[in-house]
Amino acid sequence: MKLLVTGGAGFIGSAVVRLAIARGHEVVNVDCLTYAACLDNVSSVADSAAYRFEQMDIRDGAALAAVFKRHQPDAVLHLAAESHVDRSIDGPETFLTTNILGTFNVLEAARTQGCTVLHVSTDEVFGSLGATGLFTETSPYDPRSPYSASKAASDHLARAWHTTYDLPVIVTNCSNNYGPYQFPEKLIPTVILNALAGRPIPVYGTGANVRDWLHVEDHADALLCVLETGQIGQSYNIGGENEVANIDLVRMICGQLDDLHPSDAPYGDLITFVEDRPGHDMRYAIDPTRIRDDLGWRPSVQITQGVRQTVQWYLDHRSWWEALLERDGVGVRLGRGTTR
Ligand code: NAD
């Protein structure tokens, strides 16, 4: 297929681009290259005849429509978004314009060209769980941060375009991703990079918040599976079957660093509890029954093994992440809700 991937220079989008090319698809990567983007993420496929890059802001509807017209994709995997919850607390506006208006533009361009849309979203649209329970595809929407509210709005648009205009749309809602090429501001890279620098490792609140972790290459595989075999008009929840409390994850990473890159003192000594994020969701967990039973898809990477590979990847790719440390806001505590 000829696939148009939005956000293909980001963390998950680049994994989708690499996998799609490896599986024999043609890919047009549409990305405006925000602070979170890195073209090195797709350098392994950049010379492929099957790869094209279009630097473009999805908020520019006319320019996006022209790209769709020029390339005539069979399907779009829509991942471009502002994705960091803490940044959404400090500056929500770009989350609304990119995540909502940008999605509107993607849907309209796809409608004009008659191509299928796989809209990639998050489990955060469902809000926060207590100690038990799982998010299913029919869980009520209850977004609690500017980020998740903007993603929820985009999900509603995607479904409405299917119902109203008969646009072939599938929506996926996925749990937290981790793996190679994740931007340094997210939890797992933050822990690794602070530990390597001998700096305090910040843990929000008590660290009791629970997330369901999925390896990014499993997510990319799931998205291609949904695109190829999923039912149009359907939603699929994608999870890693790996629920872990943040503090346990941080201790796991420190223990693996002790093993792979020993220091004078255990890295766990650097763990520092800091003021919690406002409105911090307590627990997310995915019920993956639909994607497992209907499409036969299951995650392949178990968290201990995946985190170890990820720690090793950051140890082996210092030049990749060192270049990103200079970018705006990296290494600074964001998301206290005190700036405007
Ligand atoms: P990311 O921040 O690493 O990458 C986002 C990419 O989108 C960047 O390359 C950026 O340049 C591009 N982009 C942003 N605004 C744009 C615009 N206006 N026009 C064109 N390109 C633009 O994000 P990610 O973690 O790879 O997430 C990708 C998608 O997956 C997002 O839609 C996110 O909501 C969703 N998601 C992420 C996770 C996760 O754990 N990271 C989990 C579930 C769903």
CATH number of the domain enclosing 101? 3.40.50.720
Domain presence at residue 319: no
Domain presence at residue 192: no
Domain presence at residue 205: no
What are 293-319's pLDDT values in tens digits? 999 999 999 999 999 999 999 999 999
Under a CB-based contact definition with an 8 Å cutoff, are residues 151 and 80 in contact? no
**What range defines the domain where residue 27 resides?**
2-177+214-240+285-300
The residue type of 212 is: D
Ligand 1 atom 15: residue of nearest CA: 81
Domain presence at residue 85: yes
pLDDT at 338: 58
State the DSSP H helix or E strand holding residue 122, giving kind and residue range, or none if neither: strand 116-122
Question: Looking at ligand 1, which atom is closest to the CA of residue 8?
Answer: 9
Per cent of the chain over pLDDT 70 is 99
What are 173-198's pLDDT values in tens digits? 999 999 999 999 999 999 999 999 99
Global pTM?
0.97
What's the gap in Å between 178 CA and the centre of ligand 1?
A: 13
Pocket test for ligand 1, best of 4, 11, 324 (most atoms within 8 A of CB): 11
pLDDT at 334: 84
Ligand 1 atom 32: residue of nearest CA: 79
Under a CB-based contact definition with an 8 Å cutoff, are residues 153 and 104 in contact? no
Domain presence at residue 102: yes
CB atoms within 10 A of CB 189: 21
Strands 75-78 and 2-6: parallel
Give the total number of structural domains in the chain. 1
Please state the φ and ψ torsions of residue 258, each to the nearest 5 degrees: -55, -40
Please state the φ and ψ torsions of residue 266, each to the nearest 5 degrees: -60, 140
Domain presence at residue 313: no
What's the gap in Å between 139 CA and the centre of ligand 1?
A: 23
What's the gap in Å between 115 CA and the centre of ligand 1?
A: 21
Q: How far is CA 297 from the centre of its chain?
A: 19
Domain presence at residue 134: yes
Please list every protein residue whose CB sits less than 6 Å from any atom of ligand 1: 7, 9-13, 31-34, 36-37, 57-59, 79-83, 98, 102, 120-122, 151, 174, 176-177, 183
Please give the order of strands across the beta sheet that includes 243-245.
Answer: 176-178, 210-215, 243-245
pLDDT at 340: 45
What are 49-107's pLDDT values in tens digits? 999 999 999 999 999 999 999 999 999 999 999 999 999 999 999 999 999 999 999 99
What's the gap in Å between 11 CA and the centre of ligand 1?
A: 7
Domain presence at residue 251: no
Mean pLDDT of 267-286: 92
Question: Looking at ligand 1, which atom is closest to the CA of residue 214?
Answer: 40
What are 204-263's pLDDT values in tens digits? 999 999 999 999 999 999 999 999 999 999 999 999 999 999 999 999 999 999 999 999
What's the gap in Å between 10 CA and the centre of ligand 1?
A: 6
So which residues are the catalytic ones? 123-124, 147
Under a CB-based contact definition with an 8 Å cutoff, are residues 284 and 125 in contact? no
